[in-house]
Structure 1
């Protein structure tokens, strides 16, 4: 009996410590062309309206809407790498190009705003680094011209 209890305890510890791989969301819709969706106001508006309960959902929109609360709550733990990359791409686009929609989505899905804050901080840091690289290159070019 002690062995059974010990085995169950070990299994629970493995599960909690992520010793078992986390189940992932379906990959059935991973081949949706995100660039095409983001380039089309009509398509993107359809997905946003679906997520906000303001319009009908395509099958992949329904799947996204169903999984979004869990993905937000668990930092996309059940996402595949491709899904994480796609989610980042879409969220960056919406933050940059449709901030009103982003605000509505954050309110609906009770996001604390931390993703947007982190993204914008990283964007500022990246632009600073790029600016420093450009300045450094200009200084090197000026030094070479002085010789």
Structure 2
């Protein structure tokens, strides 16, 4: 099972809110392929997370759960949310490397989460360490 990493959470947890057992499924039906193809939407979330722009309600939700998800190995994430996070991480690493690096620098400056999740990412052909 693939675990959450800094930026993987970044856009994929867009589909998350806070809940008890799992993060609320309020956004679980978002089409990630459409979202990843929408440069304007991606840019909006990126700016929100980097504190370079305003946040939508979804962006604010994401920011509010990001650290908890990282620290808890996404204990409240459903399998669907984990799969979405994996997809988004791969997209960012392959297509938005600069954003990925900047988000990692902000949310994982000591490299704690990169090291924690590297072995699992490599199983999927992703290199998450700089």
Q: TM-score, normalised by structure 2?
A: 0.70
Q: Choose the corresponding residue for 1:71, options 69, 72, 82.
A: 69
Q: How many equivalent pairs are there?
A: 103
Q: Which has the higher helix share?
A: 1
CA contact (8 A) 1:37 1:44 kept: yes
Structure 2 residue 102 is matched with structure 1 residue 104: yes
The equivalent of 2:121 in structure 1 is 119
In the superposition, relative to structure 1, how do residues 78 and 85 fare at CA in structure 2: closer, same or farther (>3 Å)?
A: same
SS of the equivalent of 1:119 reads helix
The equivalent of 2:91 in structure 1 is 93
Q: Following the alignment from structure 1 to structure 2, what is the Cα–Cα distance between the partners of residues 40 and 80?
A: 24
CA contact (8 A) 1:92 1:119 kept: no
Q: Following the alignment from structure 2 to structure 1, what is the Cα–Cα distance between the partners of residues 102 and 119?
A: 16
Q: Give the CA RMSD over aligned residues.
A: 2.0
Q: Following the alignment from structure 1 to structure 2, what is the Cα–Cα distance between the partners of residues 117 and 99?
A: 19
Unaligned ranges ≥5, structure 2: 1-19
The equivalent of 2:56 in structure 1 is 58
Q: TM-score, normalised by structure 1?
A: 0.62
- Map residues 1-147 of structure 1 onto 2, 5 A cutoff: 23-110=21-108, 111-112=111-112, 113-114=114-115, 115=117, 118-120=120-122, 122-123=124-125
In the superposition, relative to structure 1, how do residues 116 and 99 fare at CA in structure 2: closer, same or farther (>3 Å)?
A: farther
Which entry has the higher C-alpha Rg, 1 or 2?
A: 1
How far is the alpha carbon of 1:62 from its aligned partner?
1.2
SS of the equivalent of 1:62 reads helix
